[in-house]
Amino acid sequence: MADGEAVSTAARAGGPAFWTPGTQILWRYRENGGPRPHIARPVTVVRDDADLLAVWLAPGTECVKPVLADGTPPHREPLATRYTRPRTVARGHWLGTGVLKLARPGEPWSVWLFWEPDWRFKNWYVNLEEPLTRWSGGVDSEDHFLDITVDPDRGWQWRDEDEFAQAQRDGLMDAALAERVRAAGRAAVALIRAWGPPFSDGWQHWRPDPAWPVPFLPADWDRTPAHVSS
């Protein structure tokens, strides 16, 4: 797992702490309204510099995900009680094909790329979230419920608007935060319509290095980090 020895020489010279390609880090999400991570996904760094962090979530990777106290996956719980029933976390494995995640510094979303098993490109997925914060072992954020899917023909759709509304009703975000999320979504839509980066950068043609091992989930996946930067 990445630590001081895995960052670039720029960090040792006092510059930004960039990870070298092939480094394994954690991509985590905090529970909404709380300090603890409840999602942790080990990923492999594809690119990391002042403009972009790109990571690969490999098929079969062991991850941590939220579940209801009785083990029920949240998406199987009726929407009215989905965010109010007691929760815990469970270990599991990433099913299906892998995911390429792209995030630009300070941006309130990340862009995920999905493929079919034969590597036919499926879609982009804009995950609205807090801008990533970096620490020695990875990056942290908080999911904002509302998302956008973008098809190969550049058509787009809002996703999970019902969950976004329910989260507000259940007090997981106040009106000010909800408006910031909507504003971020509108900005993302403007970027999609203009076909700016990363959509215009050809990432759908990218393929992972077959020599990369599947990253492991460390025992201390939930440790409290000393944040390095946004």
Sequence spans of domains, the chain: 21-216
Of 7-16, 46-55, 157-166, 187-196, the least confident: 7-16
Residue 172 in contact with residue 33, Cβ under 8 Å? yes
CATH 2.40.50.100 holds for 21-216 = no
Pairwise CA distance, residues 153 & 76, whole Å = 31
Please tell me the predicted confidence (pLDDT) of residue 96.
86
Task: Tell me the pLDDT tens digit for each residue of 48-107.
Answer: 999 999 999 999 999 999 999 999 999 999 999 999 999 999 999 999 899 999 999 999
Q: Please, which residues bridge with residue 44 across strands?
A: 24, 56
Query: Confidence band (pLDDT; 50, 70, 90) for 16?
Result: low
- Could you give the residue ranges of the DSSP H alpha helices within the chain? 9-12, 161-169, 175-194
Please tell me the predicted confidence (pLDDT) of residue 226.
64
Query: Confidence band (pLDDT; 50, 70, 90) for 17?
Result: confident
Task: Tell me the pLDDT tens digit for each residue of 124-170.
Answer: 999 999 999 999 999 999 999 999 999 999 999 999 999 999 999 99
Residue 48 in contact with residue 41, Cβ under 8 Å? no
The gap from C-alpha 214 to its chain's centroid, in whole angstroms, comes to 18
